[in-house]
């Protein structure tokens, strides 16, 4: 994926097949299932991933944590990308890399599963498709910014995205996105990423078209358009205000 291609990302925190289908009917390129801040199980995620893939969208997951031991089970379902939370240094990628890639690049176990059409597409999946699973790091701490140069040099990383709430919390200014301190750190991330071949993204929690356009103007190409629960709440706010 080129860093200049803008992709719209929907964010699911509720294990609703109906919500998933609605997102797929709109112009989203990627539907991401959030495993970190939800109660979505593997069984529920499998159903959502099947819907997403059948609708010709890309299916991503945000991991529950950066040491997630059962990642192979989600890869076997056929996901297209992985978003790793709370990456603070390049060392955080060691276990993720082992779980994502088959030997010799990793230690992922081989299984006949949905991802390789239960063996029918084994060679294609093993040698090509599995190597194209995208790896994205969330930058959401001051430690991550301190180590950003080395993170951005990581060979297997496709891009990074900013987690604004956790980043502001790490900086001691939770939710204060207008703070000069927060803006300064965002500028550092933008400048460092611009010098690389990695793409830059951010979670735009409030569904604000003006804010989304501002990020597009600054060459953010991986934009998460709010999340299911906030979109419902804002719709009710407008209806009942």
Query: DSSP H helical segments within the chain, as ranges?
Result: 17-25, 42-54, 71-75, 93-100, 122-127, 142-146, 148-152, 164-170, 180-194, 209-217, 228-240
Q: How many angstroms separate the CA atoms of 228 and 29, rounded?
A: 16
pLDDT at residue 1 in the model: 54
pLDDT at residue 94 in the model: 85
Residues 79/48, Cβ–Cβ less than 8 Å: no
Q: How many angstroms separate the CA atoms of 224 and 30, rounded?
A: 9
pLDDT in tens, 113-170: 999 999 999 999 999 999 999 999 999 999 999 999 999 999 999 999 999 999 999 9
**Looking at the domain that runs over 7-240, which CATH code has it been given?**
3.20.20.60
pLDDT at residue 154 in the model: 95
Q: How many angstroms separate the CA atoms of 144 and 151, rounded?
A: 8
pLDDT at residue 71 in the model: 95
The whole-number average pLDDT for the span 188-193 is 97
Q: What angle do CA 214, 220, 223 make, to 5 degrees?
A: 90
Residue 2 has pLDDT above 90, yes or no: no
CB-neighbour burial class of residue 16 (10 A; exposed 0-12, middle 13-18, buried 19+): middle
Neighbours of 168 (CB within 10 A): 20
pLDDT at residue 194 in the model: 95
Residue 4 has pLDDT above 80, yes or no: no
pLDDT in tens, 27-57: 999 999 999 999 999 999 999 999 999 999 9
pLDDT in tens, 63-97: 999 888 899 999 999 999 999 999 999 999 888 99
Residue 25 has pLDDT above 60, yes or no: yes
Query: CB-based contacts of 139: which residues, under 8 Å, 6+ apart?
Result: 87, 145, 148, 151, 160, 161, 162, 163, 167, 189
Residue 3 DSSP label? T
Residue 154 DSSP label? -
Residues 29/58, Cβ–Cβ less than 8 Å: yes
The whole-number average pLDDT for the span 179-191 is 97
Q: How many angstroms separate the CA atoms of 81 and 26, rounded?
A: 20
> What pTM does this model have?
0.94
The two beta strands, 7-12 and 30-34, are parallel
pLDDT at residue 82 in the model: 97
Domain map of the chain by residue range?
Answer: 7-240
Q: Can you tell me whether residue 182 is helix, strand or coil?
A: helix
pLDDT at residue 216 in the model: 94
Residue 178 has pLDDT above 70, yes or no: yes
Residue 209 has pLDDT above 80, yes or no: yes
Q: How many angstroms separate the CA atoms of 12 and 27, rounded?
A: 15
pLDDT at residue 126 in the model: 97
Q: How many angstroms separate the CA atoms of 110 and 119, rounded?
A: 10
pLDDT at residue 95 in the model: 86
pLDDT at residue 241 in the model: 82
pLDDT at residue 19 in the model: 97
Q: Can you tell me whether residue 181 is helix, strand or coil?
A: helix
């Amino acid at each position: 994926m080129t860093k200049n291609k803008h992709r719209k990302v929907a964010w699911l925190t509720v294990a609703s097949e109906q919500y998933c289908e609605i997102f797929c009917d709109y112009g989203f390129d990627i539907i991401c299932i959030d495993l970190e801040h939800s109660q979505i199980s593997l069984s529920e995620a499998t159903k959502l991933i099947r819907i997403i893939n059948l609708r010709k969208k890309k299916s991503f997951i945000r991991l529950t944590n950066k040491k997630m031991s059962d990642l192979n089970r989600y890869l076997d379902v056929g996901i297209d990308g992985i978003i790793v939370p709370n990456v603070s240094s390049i060392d955080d990628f060691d276990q993720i890399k082992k779980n994502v890639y088959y030997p010799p690049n990793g230690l992922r176990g081989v299984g006949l599963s949905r991802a390789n059409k239960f063996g029918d597409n084994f060679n294609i999946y093993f040698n090509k498709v599995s190597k194209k699973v995208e790896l994205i790091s969330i930058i959401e701490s001051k430690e991550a910014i301190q180590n950003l140069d080395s993170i951005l040099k990581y060979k297997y990383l496709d891009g990074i995205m900013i987690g604004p709430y956790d980043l502001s919390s790490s900086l001691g200014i939770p939710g204060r996105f207008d703070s000069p301190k927060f803006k300064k750190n965002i500028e550092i991330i933008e400048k460092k990423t611009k010098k690389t071949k990695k793409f830059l993204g951010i979670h735009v929690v409030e569904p604000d078209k003006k804010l989304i356009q501002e990020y597009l103007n600054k060459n953010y190409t991986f934009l998460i358009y709010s999340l299911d629960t906030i979109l419902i709440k804002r719709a009710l706010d407008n209806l009942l205000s």
